[in-house]
A = this chain, B = another copy of it.
């Protein structure tokens, strides 16, 4: 199983279109399963909100790291499996932040530093692929006023020059995790 790891150098706004199936192929010619990452703001088109409980809320931030994951390896697609992968991605991010000295807590798919919400995330499926979005605030600028937020650059532990390393580490660790599961399956006796 190959999973493409692609970082987009240009800034791009996460507007919710990127969670649609086949976006990476359609917009960038990336074939097969992939983890695409970039930095840029978030302002989600209300019509593209996936979480019903978020409808009517502002979901935005001026600068974030974004990860968009797409998997084609599970047919039929399975929202339950997709949310397990989302949790693994979020836990890998939390673990990576810890290596930089940023201690955080996690509740489901949300990471907090102190009382500040650091991340947003969603998973969804179409009949042929599974998708995950994970956004990590760089600063709290432009985030909704009614939510206490924090950015990783505001933790005092991580500099702008570290960001690319963190993105690469998270993407690679996630890809390796999914691959290691494939390997484990093929050596397992069943009942």
Contact = CB atoms under 8 A, between A and B. Distances in A.
Nearest to A2: B1
A123 interface: yes
Q: How many copies does the complex hold?
A: 6
A161 interface: no
A127 B80 contact: no
A91 B2 CA distance: 24
B76 A22 contact: no
A81 B73 CA distance: 12
A189 interface: yes
Interface in A88-143: 88, 91, 94-95, 98, 106-109, 122-129
Interface in A18-37: 20-22, 25-26, 31-33
Interface stretch (A5-13, A48-56, A148-156): A48-56
Contacts of A76: 76-79
A85 interface: yes
Contact of A25 (B52, B122, B126, B181): B52
Nearest to A51: B187
Given A1-B1, A74-B80, A181-B84, A188 B108 contact: no
Contacts of A189: 21-22, 49-52, 124, 128
14 contacts: A1-B1, A22-B189, A26-B55, A31-B183, A51-B188, A75-B78, A75-B80, A78-B81, A83-B184, A108-B183, A109-B184, A124-B190, A124-B191, A129-B186
Ranked 8 nearest A-B pairs via Cβ: A126-B191, A84-B84, A127-B190, A75-B80, A108-B180, A76-B76, A83-B181, A128-B190
